[in-house]
Structure 1
Amino acid sequence: MGTHRVVWRLDRAGSIDRLRQVEEPVPDPGTGEVRVRVEAVGLNFADLFAAQGLYSATPKGSFIPGLECTGVVESFGPGAVDSGLAPGDRVVALTRFGAYATRLNVGVEYLRRAPPGWSAVQAAAWAVQGLTAWYAIVPLARVGAGDVVLVQSAAGGVGLQALAILATLGARPVAVVGREEKRRFLIEHCGLAESSVLVRERRQFGARLDDALAACDAKGFDCVLDAVLGPGFRPAFERLRPEGCCVLYGAADFMSRSARPNYPRLAWSYLRRPRVDPLAMIAANRSLMAFNLIWLWERAERLPAAYAGLERLAPDPPHVGAVLPFDDAPSALRLLQGGGTIGKVVLEV
């Protein structure tokens, strides 16, 4: 028989203020599905963009946000019993929306046992941002030992995971953050040299990048990791060495600081968005790659290898900067939206 759950649901995209907590039935798990009792939910910028209607993959009409959670296996649908999981196992779940819930049914191919010894909160902070960092650095950029890598938004969830992966690979990171307190955190907790951590300043950003490269005795970056797509994009891209690449996986600079999108500002930002000339890229021998991790939903067979690669290169639990009760989801989203957090924001059920 079915049971009930509590979810955060929007009747339609367009504003964070449309988020409402409701109780609703959850059906028995279908073929190949596992029912999970959720313990913690990881928040991502995609949740904000989806709520505001600015995310291309946002469902039409009413939907439940959320791309990842951690919970305990409760029951199995037909065909899922032989998954190797057992009732009571703690799992990490990837969802194409729907994670802001106290229970949900998930296809077994989107589940992975939580790393042993990790709390539910730590495990909920792991998958989306860890896999994003891994995919950008390893399959796409192919970063190796000694490479100089610029990491934009380095104190965010993806940024911290990227720094952990780069350390294992023996690469040399240059980290960019938006606030001085984040700079101090990276120096004190991530072991980065002061010369390798920059606070983003529009007018002096290029000169600061030159200073960081000089401190590394490098003539250019081997890789730039960018989730911002703001004024810092071009100075960084222009400092790629020959054969260097920029990997773009977000556009946080387009984020509205209010509940609804600021359409005049969005239009202005869109018109002024960075552009690159393919002919100039040929001459400079540089490349630009971009991706949205949600494409992995269609290629679930690649998830086990991706998780294994992430576990090997970043074996420690991710940093969780804020934990809020599940009932405070709107407050958690606004906290994330404010840009002051370090690491992951997680809802605890």
Structure 2
Amino acid sequence: MTTRNLWRMSSAGSLERLERRTEELPPPRAGEARVRVQAIGLNFADIFACLGLYSATPRGTFVPGLECAGVVEAIGPPREDEGSSGSALSPGEPVMVLTRFGAYATALNAESRYLAPIPDGWTMAEGAAYPVQSLTAWYGLMHLGALAPGQVALLHSAAGGVGLHALAMARATGATVIGTVGQADKIPLLEARGLARGQVVVRKAKGFGAQLDVALAAVDATGFDVVLDAIAGPFFLPALARLAPEGRHVLYGAADFMPKGRHPDWLRLAWQYLRRPRLDPMKLMDTNRSVMGFNLIWLFDRADRLPAAMSAALALSPAPPHIGARFPFDEVPEALRALQSGRTMGKIVIEV
């Protein structure tokens, strides 16, 4: 047994249920490695899970967190399908960790299949910030969206963690990008990443379609080939209406549903749900457009595909991720509230 500190939810439903505890961690089981955590990446899915608004949220008590980085401390026995050679990992190796919850801890046991070496020259914080959002960007934009050279992509929340990876991947592919942000103070970050001012839209719920028309005209385009959408809400249908023939609208989040407080406002959510965008499949056929949705948790059940997916993401977005804010382990609740505000840029990281 080893002692660890962690943040545990007694049950989903309110951020106030997140408590810091000290617990014993058993030795790693077959196919697992114990990692001493040095940094943790935060994601919107963490907040939705804590609030009970995420379909993959565990029932009962759980430790939030989908990714972290640290040093391998111990290796469990090999799984039956690994043979006598066992894991290729070794104690002392710095790794990035994907985990289906459990990352908000100073140590954890994780399946070796979900661990990847931290690229040379990266810090632990950069390693913790990379896996979930880069894989999300690659899977949505490249795998499902099939973005190709010369095409036009609309990236919602372009200054966020996923958005910055998607921007790098789109530019590496030779595509043209229009990015949206929620606040004007995020524009300089996107300009530094190669977007002209006319390619950045500060979203407004009223008149969003007209904003997109101006941005499309600025890049001499008539429609989008791919929309990567983490917002939905009132911004969904205007973007869908501007898809070019054969265009793909890929939905991977619904930030418009993000509660503002520490627990959900169920009346507000019910009203939003009743007013959610509705689609007519017949019109999709008439206009030759596609709408797709995904949840990255699905890839956790396909561990065999993760190494190739990570390699593809690193090939298109090889630079260390942009870290917009850092918090100590004691301030996880404050970090979650900062992420919930929607005002942060890049990635929020907890440093242990």
SS of 2:154's equivalent? strand
Q: Within 5 A, what are the aligned runs for 1:1-349?
A: 2-79=1-78, 82-187=86-191, 189-349=192-352
Return the offset for 1:204: 2.0
SS of 2:120's equivalent? coil
Return the offset for 1:315: 0.5
Distance in 2, matches of 1:224 and 1:191, equals 19
Q: What residue identity is the alignment partner of 1:161?
A: H
Distance in 2, matches of 1:251 and 1:119, equals 31
Return the offset for 1:84: 1.8
Select between 112-121 and 199-208 the one with higher mean Cα deviation. 199-208
Return the offset for 1:82: 3.3
Distance in 2, matches of 1:202 and 1:58, equals 30
The answer for unaligned runs of 5 or more in structure 1 is none
Q: What residue identity is the alignment partner of 2:307?
A: P
Q: What residue identity is the alignment partner of 1:68?
A: E
Deviating runs (4+, > 4 A) in structure 1?
none
After TM superposition, the score normalised by the length of structure 2 is: 0.97
Return the offset for 1:192: 0.5
Q: What residue identity is the alignment partner of 1:58?
A: T
Distance in 2, matches of 1:127 and 1:256, equals 25
The answer for unaligned runs of 5 or more in structure 2 is 80-84
After TM superposition, the score normalised by the length of structure 1 is: 0.98
Distance in 2, matches of 1:313 and 1:183, equals 23
SS of 1:232's equivalent? helix
Return the offset for 1:162: 0.3
SS of 1:138's equivalent? helix
Distance in 1, matches of 2:263 and 2:96, equals 31
Distance in 2, matches of 1:240 and 1:317, equals 32
Return the offset for 1:215: 1.5
SS of 2:187's equivalent? helix
Return the offset for 1:154: 0.7
SS of 1:175's equivalent? strand
SS of 1:118's equivalent? coil
Distance in 2, matches of 1:250 and 1:202, equals 17
Percent identity over paired residues: 56
Distance in 1, matches of 2:347 and 2:278, equals 30
SS of 2:146's equivalent? coil
Return the offset for 1:68: 0.4
Return the offset for 1:214: 1.1
Return the offset for 1:217: 1.3
Distance in 2, matches of 1:215 and 1:54, equals 38
Distance in 1, matches of 2:281 and 2:78, equals 49
Distance in 2, matches of 1:64 and 1:108, equals 19
Distance in 2, matches of 1:65 and 1:224, equals 29
8 Å Cα contact 2:77-2:86 kept in structure 1: no
Residue-by-residue CA offset, 1:227-285 (whole Å, 9 max, x unaligned)? 00121111000000100010000001001010000101100110011111100000000
Residue-by-residue CA offset, 1:271-317 (whole Å, 9 max, x unaligned)? 01111110000000000000000001110000010001011100000
Distance in 1, matches of 2:300 and 2:152, equals 31
